[in-house]
Each structure stands twice: as C-alpha cells, then as structure tokens.
Amino acid sequence: MSHRPLARALKPAELAGALLSQCGDERQAVNLARRLKEWLFKFHAMSAAEIAERFEVARAKRRMLEAGLRIEPLLVLEQALTSPYDGSCRMVLRLRRESEAHYVEAVAIPRRRDLTLCLSSQVGCPLACSFCATGLLGLRQNLTAAEMVEEHAWAERLQKQRVTDIVFMGMGEPLLNYDAVLEAAYRLTDRQGAQISTRRIILSTAGVVPAIQRYARERHPFPLYFSLNSAIPAKRRRLMPIEKTYPLDSLVESIRAYIASRDWNPRAVIEYVAIPGENMDGEDIEALSAVFKGMPVILDVIPYNATDGRYRPPTWAEVKRFTTALRRLNLPVKVRFSSGKRTGGGCGQLTAGLLKTAPLEGHHLAPPGIFSDLLQSSVSCAS
C-alpha cells in the first residue's frame, strides 16, 4: 500500500507540506497547494486524471502531485435516488477507510434557486430517539471533517449546482462529534472552497447539554437548532432517552446560555416532531408555554415521517389544528416541509439502506392555503 497521504483527507493547510518533499521549493509547493485546494474543494476533482483533464496543469506539476499525494475520493457513491415529487436527491455513500463497509446518507434539497444539503456527522446514532430510524442502528463510526466535506462535494457533482445551505441534520448527533463537525463547518465557509455563509450552516442537537454550553462559551457563528419534541419530561424521556442523562431543565438553561451568546438574531429554534397521540395535545401546548414563556424562540413543527410503524404520521388537518392552537403562546411558529420522504430521505428516515423504513402515509403536500393564516400570525409574532 502506498504511504502517500490522501489529499482529500488532509486539511487545506497541510497540502503544501505534503508537496514540499517533491517540489524542494517552498514557494512552488505553496502555489501548487493553493491551486490543488481549489481543484479539490471548490471544483471537487476526485482523481489526478480528472485534474489533468479539467485543468491546465504542466506535466512536471502533475508528476509532483502524483508523487506526493494520492488523489482519490474518501467516500464512494453507492446510490443516488431523486424524488419525482420534490426533486430531492438521497445519496448513499460508502466510507473507504474501513475494511468493513460503513454507509452514510446525505440529502440534497432544491428550493427555487437554492440548494440545501442535509449532512450526516456519524454512521448511525447512539441516542435512540424512538421516532428516528437512524437511532435504531446505534453508533457505528464518527465521520471525519474531511468525509463530511466530501458529502458536500458529491452533492454538487450530482446536482451540478452550488450548495447554498448546509444543515447538519442527517445521520448522527453533531455535538457528539463536536470537533470534527466544527472543523467541517468552518471548512465549508472557505473562500477557496464551498464559500457558504456561516449564517446558512445549521447544526441540530438532541440536547447534549455540556456541548451546548461549550458551544455558547466558544461563540461559534453557526446557528444551533434544538430538538425538543416534548416539554413534559416524562413524555420527552419516552421519545428521547437523552432526557434521562440531560433533563429538560438543564437543556432549557443551556438554550438560555446559547441565546445570550448570540451577537445577531438572538433567537433559538425549537424543533418539534409532531406525533399524533404522543405530543400534540392541550397539555403539551401548556407545557411549552410554561417552559418558553418570555424566551425568544421559534417553534419549528416537523410532521412525523413514518419509519418502523411504531407511530403514525399526522394528517395535515391535525398539523393545522396543532399549530393553530400554538398561536396562543405568542411565539413564531413554522411548519417544516420534509423533502425526500417518498424515497426514505425525509427527517428521521435515514438508515443508509441498512433498515427499511415504512412508506409515507398520511401527509405529503399540504393543501394549498391551509397555513396561510398561520403564516400571517407568525409574521405578526416575529415583528
């Protein structure tokens, strides 16, 4: 096996050092590394042959690249399934660094001229939320920062469109892979790479309180979303076992610390997977009112997507009744449209094909105008 390092596994700042032994000239190594950085992380070249074909590279420099580095993908695209309903593309990617096959999924979601990428941060997830198929897998591997960045590369290669938004809402709990996720997030803002705004890179957490507190202290610029799903501790414990480790009271205090740390838009987004018979009753609304009274939060209601048949998805009429009842909290409320659910790529459905998720039932597209009055109410609350 070659001892040359994998170029795509290196941090951009490490490329010059890897090339220096071949160039013998630091300035030449730095210049070549600067160009290579763009080829790899802006134009997403996956091989030396592709670089030679797509870019004007002198033969001597090609030899330096090939002698100093292996230019190969870190992930292998095993499957790409595009939904005919909403245009989302569900990608199944295999990690190349393990002798045993490990798979992750990422979902590219087009919206008008924008393209959002839902990234995975782990293979599987250790948190075992009862409404999420990924949690049934358990934790198998943490992804490296370079592998997360390569998910972005495959999305742009397939979609032939620039990714404008990143959400760390795929497989895994981002804050349990804290350092690698943040390294990936900062790399995705690089001006010689993906060039994504820090305000358009979102991390979602199920409530890892020590990591949230650390994040607030370090004052990172990326928005954090908080997966709550019930403001009643007993219900939340049933839906999310993490409640046993980090109780609701401590989570709310960490959310307050996060809000206080924000220099702009000091609001927290509270994600709420709406499950009929579990967390959409009057007592759930009263509990939300008691917990978040006076706090600058936005409620992001996510209609549950079918996974293993344990719960059923709400109908749009049930979602409308629930969100209408939430108005009395005098908080902005929005309803998230979960793309890719028809192809197993919706929120809570990602399993990299290792488990079969149930087909969608109960909701797809909301009837036209069903939320128009709710939208007006949310705008009024926000203002």
Catalytic annotation, residues: 105, 347
How far apart CA 290 and CA 285 sit, in angstroms, is 9
- At residue 78, what are phi and psi to the nearest 5 degrees? -95, -35
Decide if 258 contacts 308 (C-beta within 8 A). Answer: no
Give CA separation, 169 vs 35, 112, 202, 226, 354, in Å: 32, 21, 8, 11, 18
- SS3 (DSSP) at 50: helix
Indicate the burial class of 58 (C-beta count within 10 angstroms; 0-12, 13-18, 19 or more). exposed
Q: 297: which strand partners? A: 268
- Taking only Cα atoms into account, the Rg of the chain, rounded to an integer number of angstroms, comes to 22
How far apart CA 344 and CA 81 sit, in angstroms, is 10
Q: 53: which strand partners? A: none
